[in-house]
Structure 1
Amino acid sequence: MTAGSPHLIGWSGDALTDSVLAVIDADTAVIEFSVWGGWDRSLSTQARTVLDKCLAEHPSGIVVDLHELSDPHAVSAPLWLTACSQAAAMEPPVTIAICTRANAPLARRMTRLGARDWLVLYATVSQARAAVAGRHVLPDRMHLALPPDTAAAMSARGLVNDACRDWGLQHLGQRARLVVSELVVNAAEHAGTDIEVIISARGSGPAAALHLAVYDGDLMLPRLRDPVSGPLGPSLVDRGLGLRIVGAAASAWGALPARSGKLVWAIVRARPEVP
């Protein structure tokens, strides 16, 4: 995968680091997560933050590339094992494939500490990518290709209607239509490229959710903007307003670099009833 800039990592446009990179494949919903440099407290914080954000996106899998990580004492092992355990407990489960040299101290320690049912080690990223991409295929998934036109939001709302009807998630429809409209309009206005909308179901029963993803060909990640003072007081302009609407309607949202562009995602799930 390529992301245009090897130093770019983000979701909501709020994070930059030169030692961690996460890139999502819009076709397979697999994230490739790479860490490089010497393992220390700063890198640990960066990696943990990025990994938490990747799991929040609820991808179909995560390939963790540790070939360029210098961790001679395997101090980072608990982080990767915890992430694997958390991912395996998600519904549907998320496979995390760890890529590192078989004779490295980190590989030896993880093998010694890790449970065999959810710790998967691979020698190369290509092997891990092939294995993870085919392991958990999302059964409920719809996609739609759209032109860079704000009017395309109507078609995206129609796709949400179809998904909610087919999957019995009509109670999520109103907020999901609002979210997908804002994401498509933002992509049309600010990216100006072809757009792809991908909708998939997450979980089942009362915990079921809709995962909405909008892919465009612009490498620039979206960024929330601060209110701007005007003659009528503070106001929100451009993309900042749309993203705040998304943040209010969705349970979680974010953005990741993708091949030749970016993917902005949001998860809409039922909200607890207020007594």
Structure 2
Amino acid sequence: MSAGSPHLIGWSGDAVADSVLAVIDADTAVIEFSVWGQWDRSLSTQARIVLDKCLAEHPTGLLIDLHELGDPHAVSAPLWLTACAQAAAMQPPVAIALCARANTPLARRLSRLGARDWLVLYATIAQARAALTGRRVVHDRMHLALPPDPAAAIQARALVEDACRCWHLPDLRRRAQLVVSELVVNAAEHAGTDIEVIVSLRGSGAGASLHLAVYDGDVILPRLRDPIAGPLGPSLTDRGLGLRIVGAAASDWGALPARSGKLVWAIIRSRPEVPA
């Protein structure tokens, strides 16, 4: 995964995309990942892509719904086990709750492969949601509600400054303020709805990073577009440069569908010092 590359969940013109869906809850930062249809090579590829993007977002929890997956030979089991192992190795670890029909070949194979060491199988989505939201609480988190006004980016930058001062991350402040400003302006201009900004601390010590999330009420995910240059070359006012600025300043970024809208996120990590 390259730094600064966009991780957008969603495809166009791909029938398999209709069988894989990831939606994030802006309040709990839990992602619900669903896959349905007959398991084959194409569905396996898309499921792996979406799972990688879900984990790149570093959510507080990941709910994997396999109720409608047709996998009579349980060949998808290694993918779910690998995802659980990757989530457990993250700092902080990502809790995973897996929902699958009982007494199916997939559920039995997961048990034989030692799934109980890494995940808990739930019978219903409601049970899995309750388990994830009840066990994971984000303590180092700051929240701000903003109007759909580009000038609201000033308040978002102030929130980031407070977060970096509180969590002792002065080296991340400038890049984080630049990124959150671009995301809020984009939300105000393109969505035109109320905006929520969530700033969270991930990790600790030298490995600490800043997680930025901007929620709006527009369901259309952002797309990275080539700016249209004028006769004198690219201009700072050209459309399409905002997300390129985010990509250059952030370590990772992406977008996820959310209930009644979308969530655009970015992770700001420390970068190695470059000799003068």
TM-score by shorter chain over 0.5 = yes
Would the alpha carbon gap of residues 115 and 152 (structure 1) be closer, same or farther in structure 2, given more than 3 Å must change? Answer: same
TM-score under structure 2 normalisation? 0.92
CA distance in 1, matches of 2:185, 2:53: 24
> Percent of aligned pairs with the same residue?
79
Mapped contact 1:141–1:199 kept (Cα < 8 A)? yes
Mapped contact 1:225–1:236 kept (Cα < 8 A)? no
Deviation at 1:119, TM superposition (A): 1.7
Deviation at 1:258, TM superposition (A): 0.4
CA distance in 2, matches of 1:27, 1:156: 18
Whichever residue aligns with residue 116 of structure 2, its letter is R
Residue in structure 2 matched with residue 109 of structure 1 by the alignment: 109
Would the alpha carbon gap of residues 14 and 245 (structure 1) be closer, same or farther in structure 2, given more than 3 Å must change? Answer: farther
Residue in structure 1 matched with residue 158 of structure 2 by the alignment: 158
Residue ranges of structure 1 left out of the alignment (5+ in a row): 1-9
CA RMSD of superposed structures (Å): 1.6
Say if 2:206 is the partner of 1:210. Answer: no
CA distance in 2, matches of 1:39, 1:153: 44
CA distance in 1, matches of 2:80, 2:126: 19
Residue in structure 2 matched with residue 7 of structure 1 by the alignment: none
Deviation at 1:120, TM superposition (A): 1.5
Mapped contact 2:60–2:138 kept (Cα < 8 A)? yes
Would the alpha carbon gap of residues 67 and 153 (structure 1) be closer, same or farther in structure 2, given more than 3 Å must change? Answer: same
Residue ranges of structure 2 left out of the alignment (5+ in a row): 1-5
Deviation at 1:133, TM superposition (A): 1.3
CA distance in 2, matches of 1:115, 1:69: 18
Residue in structure 2 matched with residue 121 of structure 1 by the alignment: 121
SS at match of 1:233: coil
More deviation in 234-243 or 62-71? Answer: 234-243
Residue in structure 1 matched with residue 192 of structure 2 by the alignment: 192
Deviation at 1:171, TM superposition (A): 1.1
Residue in structure 1 matched with residue 8 of structure 2 by the alignment: 12
How many corresponding residue pairs?
266
Whichever residue aligns with residue 20 of structure 1, its letter is V
Mapped contact 2:64–2:97 kept (Cα < 8 A)? yes
CA distance in 2, matches of 1:228, 1:234: 7
1:43-122 alignment, distance < 5 Å: 43-122=43-122
Would the alpha carbon gap of residues 220 and 130 (structure 1) be closer, same or farther in structure 2, given more than 3 Å must change? Answer: same
More deviation in 16-25 or 250-259? Answer: 16-25
Would the alpha carbon gap of residues 274 and 84 (structure 1) be closer, same or farther in structure 2, given more than 3 Å must change? Answer: same
Residue in structure 1 matched with residue 135 of structure 2 by the alignment: 135
After the TM superposition, which parts of structure 1 deviate over 6 Å for at least 4 consecutive aligned residues?
none
